[in-house]
Amino acid sequence: MGSSDIAPDHVPTWVVPLSTVALGMGVLFWDATYILMTRRSLQTKSYSMPLLGLALNVSWEIVYALYVCEAPLETAGFTVWLLLDIGLIYTTVKHAPVEWAKTSPWVGEHIAVLLTVMTAVGCAGHFAFVSWWLSEPGIGHGDKTGKWYFGRDKFDTTELAFWSAGVAQLVDSIGSLAMLLVRGHSGGTSYAIWLCRTLGTVTGLGLSSVILCYWWPEAHGYLTNPFGIFILATAVITDLIYPFCLWHVRQTEVVLPDGRIVSQYDRLQGLKPAEKEL
């Protein structure tokens, strides 16, 4: 976002392009993440992304692809994400009944309806936030001069995307760690997925914002806002903890003959998820 911004004279001409490159790197890392998630989910007969995180991400991508994006490259990026979402949604709907069998069978049995409703609510929430943000010039932190959007000055879609994507990322990071610990197995996840996901967050959400905040602070001071610091710090810290928890979980998990992975506890209790698959 913000590829059409015109920075003031004191900002080096390479700042906006460099920030855009960092954002593009984040997009590519997340493309790889989605592909690896789908592949791993199919291999282990599980799903990779927490339900709330998936709903928030899909709804965010829908609203931005259809309503917010200005440049063709931005639209293309969100469209690719939506196409890659198909694999995530498919594996979630297919394998959620098994994953939820021991905690809430009702959730697993109605996962398609629940995910649809959650995504619809997410679309409504994202659209409400976007509509308010773009309702008049100057909304956001600091002086928005030079933040152009469809020929209008002082409409900052960079900050808009930071808040909406940041909240979704925070939910996904915390949810992914919680899901790993609750399951007690690595089905649907891997070190490669973790690495791509973390690098996507660091470059796309963090580095691109740091570049703009350092050289164009009057328009991008939101990064040093307490809530901005909280979002980034919590997401990054959670992601840094994740591989250690993944290592611990993998020490005790059990791989079944069909490729599914279960926790040692489930195996000791005599639960055989593969036999419950619909």
Per-residue model confidence as pLDDT tens for the chain (278 residues): 767 788 888 999 999 999 999 999 999 999 999 999 999 999 999 999 999 999 999 999 999 999 998 888 888 889 999 999 999 999 999 999 999 988 899 999 999 999 999 999 999 999 999 999 999 999 988 888 888 888 888 889 999 999 999 999 999 999 999 999 999 999 999 999 999 999 999 999 999 999 999 999 998 999 999 999 999 999 999 999 999 999 999 999 999 988 888 888 776 565 544 444 44
CA–CA distance, 35 with 37 (Å, rounded to integer): 5
Assess if residue 7 is contained within a domain: no
Q: Where are the alpha helices (DSSP H) in the chain?
A: 15-44, 51-63, 72-99, 105-109, 111-133, 157-183, 191-200, 208-215, 217-220, 226-250, 264-268, 273-276
Asked if the structure places residue 121 within a domain, the reply is yes
Parent domain of 106: 15-276
Q: Is 242 inside any structural domain?
A: yes
Q: Is residue 61 packed enough to be buried (19+ CB in 10 Å), middle (13-18) or exposed (0-12)?
A: buried
Residue 10 inside a domain? The answer is: no
Q: What is the pLDDT of residue 267?
A: 62
- The sign of the dihedral angle between the CA atoms of 194, 182, 249, 185 is negative
Domain assignment of residue 5, yes or no: no
Q: What is the pLDDT of residue 276?
A: 43
* pLDDT at residue 270 in the model: 56
- Give the separation between CA 29 and CA 34, rounded to whole angstroms: 9
Confidence at residue 52, expressed as pLDDT on a 0 to 100 scale: 96
The count of structural domains within the chain is 1
255: part of which helix (H) or strand (E)? strand 254-255
**Both tokens of residue 225?**
């806002």
Give residue 201's pLDDT: 93
The answer to the question of residue 179 being in a domain is yes
9 in any annotated domain: no
Q: Which residue has tokens 């036999």?
A: 275
User: Which DSSP symbol is given to 205?
Assistant: I
pLDDT of residue 169: 94
